[in-house]
Amino acid sequence: MAYAYDDTNIFARILRGEIPNKTVLETEHTLAFHDIGPQAPVHVLVIPKGPYVNFDHFAAAASAEEIADFTRAAGEVCRMMKIAPGEGDNGYRTISNAGTHGVQEVPHYHMHILGGRVLGSMLK
């Protein structure tokens, strides 16, 4: 399957420094920043720095190092934002929208991390 990455998307522009962002965490291969339209008290977007359209593209084409870096950064964001389940922390949700049925707006792979309140569920 061929994936076409459009480098004019807003997250590509953030990565190039053309648009400001409120950074939570930056690593060699990953950037995490606050969503501009938060849907919960904590709403952070985690994106790889590489040109991947969505999760399945990232999973197929990213290096093991990029995937490990992304996964570790996302976990670190949950702890930094104090939403990781544990003493006094109450949990979170991760979401990644893809394509038309997933209602993906920005065609650069991103993981939403949401928390800080009880989140409504479409899965229960």
The stretch near ligand 5GP (CB under 6 A) out of 29-37, 53-61, 69-77, 78-86 is 29-37
Whole-angstrom distance, CA of residue 117 vs CA of residue 12: 30
Q: Is 110 a catalytic residue?
A: yes
- Whole-number minimum distance, CB 17 to ligand 5GP, in Å? 13
Exposure string for 38-58, b = 16+ CB within 10 A, e = fewer:
eebebbbbbbbbbbbbbbebb
Secondary structure element (H or E) that encloses residue 55, with its range: helix 55-61
Q: Does residue number 9 form part of the binding site for ligand 5GP (CB under 6 A)?
A: no
Please list the active-site residues.
110
Binding site for ligand 5GP (CB under 6 A): 10, 19, 21, 33-37, 45, 97, 103-106
